[in-house]
Structure 1
Amino acid sequence: MRTWTADSRAPAAIAWALMARPGVWASWAPHVRGAWGLGTPEVEAGAVGAARLFGVLPVPAKITAKSARSWTWQVGPAEMVHRVEERGTGCVVAIDLRAPGPLEPALAATYGPIIQVMLNRLARVAE
């Protein structure tokens, strides 16, 4: 498993609202230009849909789990856990990536830097 994090001065509830609501993903993940079928207003466990990347590419996904401040989706053979943890008056936003065999290090090397940029942006937007 690979993990990326960013610290935010925002309350966890604000960061969570940004992370868990597909309708606002573009505010912190600019390559995501929409999503459907994943839940409204928040992601829902068991929901099957897609996220639209770069305004063109639909990427099928399934929300496999959700708790108070985390949700997990399966995108192809990869699984990503999105979570928000309270830290004092702020929070930490994080994404954990799991994928089989050599796919995990390949995704970490190629998509990992994008994940970090997204989390840094999410932390700032939440503030």
Structure 2
Amino acid sequence: MASTASYTQLDTAQFTRCSRPPPSPSAGAENGYSYPVPHSFSADSDASVDAVWALVAQPARWPEWAPHVRGAWGLGSPEIESGRCGAARLLWIVPVPVSISATTPGRSWTWQVGPMTLDHLVEPRGHGSRITMTMSAPGPLDAVLGVTYGPVVRILVRRLARVAGAR
């Protein structure tokens, strides 16, 4: 198995900031599609917001809690940056084009993966934090995504909370 470092240290000169705006909530409405209520998954962690944020916002650290993500490039370093386009390497082979559409440093970021939007939110909760990931997609794809990828996201959010709390 190749190390994650080999994927996160690729030459990123070929990647530039995205020029297209993020899709609006009514994107696709002209074709009869709209974004339905998104699917949200949350987990509480004993870790501080800063500790969780470091795991969720630094592409080089994604494999620590998302084993299917083996690296990323062009999204910002060490943290993701709004407006950046690049790719995430999934399952050791498949580079998937992604774009970071919004960030609130230390708290949240959103990316577009094909037609799917995935929001990542970290907020204080008691002596620790709450992690929430919310995904949505246009039209009938949203229901399919909820059934197929929703369970994976639920597991990933719980794993992230556990990994962050163990540090």
Other-structure match for 1:93: 131
Structure exhibiting the larger radius of gyration computed from Cα positions: 2
Distance 2:146 2:112 in 1: 16
Q: How does 1:17-96 map to 2 (within 5 A)?
A: 17-68=54-105, 69-96=107-134
SS of equivalent to 2:82 = coil
Q: Partner of 2:79: helix, strand, or coil?
A: coil
* 1:28-82 Cα deviation digits (max 9, x unpaired): 0000000000110000001100100000011100000000310000111111111
Residue identity in the other structure for 1:112: G
Secondary structure in structure 2 of the residue aligned to 1:65: strand
Q: Distance in 1 between matches of 2:149 and 2:164?
A: 22
Alpha-carbon distance in 1 for matches of 2:129, 2:143: 27
Secondary structure of 1:33 counterpart = strand
> How far is the alpha carbon of 1:91 from its aligned partner?
0.7
Instruction: Determine the C-alpha separation between the residues in 2 that align with 1:102 and 1:16.
Output: 32
SS of 2:80's equivalent in the other structure is coil
Any idea what SS the aligned residue of 2:75 has? coil
Give 1:105 deviation, angstroms: 1.2
> 2:76 is matched by which residue type in structure 1?
G
How far apart, in 2, do the equivalents of 1:101 and 1:73 lie?
18
C-alpha displacement of 1:22:
0.2
**Cα drift, residue 108 of structure 1:** 1.0
Larger relative contact order (CA 8 Å, sep ≥ 6): 1
**Structure 1 counterpart SS, 2:72:** strand
Residue in structure 2 matched with residue 14 of structure 1 by the alignment: 51
Using the size of structure 2 for normalisation, the TM-score is 0.75
Task: Say yes or no: does 1:112 pair with 2:153.
Answer: no
Aligned residues between the structures: 127
Give the Å deviation of 1:116. 1.0
Computed over aligned residues only, the root mean square deviation of the Cα atoms, in angstroms, reads 0.7
- Distance of 1:98 and 1:52 partners within structure 2: 21
Identical-pair percentage: 53
List gaps (5 residues or longer) in structure 2: 1-37
